[in-house]
Structure 1
Amino acid sequence: MIDTYFTTYPGYYFTGDGALRDEDGYLRITGRVDDVLNVSGHRMGTAEVESALVLHEDIAEAAVVGFPHDIKGQGIYAYVTPMTGVEDSESLREELVALCVREIGPIAKPDRIQWAPGLPKTRSGKIMRRILRKIAENELNSLGDTSTLADPAVVEDLVEGRVSD
């Protein structure tokens, strides 16, 4: 167990969390380093794309995962929860794509955006990305244990609303 945290960077404790230091010297936690996408050889954290998506005033929450893409290696699949009373639309989808491009760059353009009434979370509020990955990859028969979810019905809604090519 100790080897897990001290071997990546000898002499330093490595938690697996990523951070960026801004121009004022403050650290901003960007998420887990294992939540990294590799899109056409460009590595980016899922948190970067999620942060761009939730900048839109009509979006309450977002979660991003990678999925196999024939050309890019990994595509960007975004689960987006609109604010209460906001209807999903093609124009909102286009605004979200443009927002990601403006904030991060063209490489961060989501390939698929799925409107999500909610995200699969544990009772403590942690998003179960494993389930989101399986849905994005269309591996619907191997979602795994969902007994720790606060609301298991969310998974059924996400499976029904799955976006494909």
Structure 2
Amino acid sequence: MATITFQGKPINTCGDLPTIGSQAPDFKLTNRKMQDVGLTNFAGKRKLLNIVPSLDTPTCATSTRKFNEKAAHLHNTEVLVISADLPFAQVRFCEIEGIKHVGALSTFRSSFAQDYGVELLDSILAGLTARAVLVLDETDTVIHAELVAEIADEPDYAAALAALSKA
């Protein structure tokens, strides 16, 4: 279990993020076509997982826009934003915001939040995910992991992108 804050007040996650050097757990998330996808759908590519509570919040929207901007220049890399939003809402957000280089995946019928240790256990956000960024290499080994300490803060974009450039 990890403790982060929401507006300065402590909240707990259900576990811990996968650690650097570990194999990322496979997942089942839902894409814009209501199809279940997992790590095998992105086999042989590097993956940046931008895990957010909901695209309907300012910080989540900002991080998705920023990673979308940076993703246009990344070779052999899938950038994925993962949230509890329904795929319909994710599609609408991406269309309105012009998000073309980030794939949106939903946790709505998945154990992803528990498997990755990011499910929030308390506060008004209970059941959503903490804000986190994971970078996986082509073999799904974790090469960067950040659990953002204050859920209202943006992740460290430079550190995630630097991990990709080293991979």
Bin for the TM-score computed over the shorter chain: under 0.3
Say which structure, 1 or 2, has more relative contact order (CA 8 Å, 6+ apart).
2
**TM-score, with normalisation over the residues of structure 2?**
0.27
**TM-score, with normalisation over the residues of structure 1?**
0.27
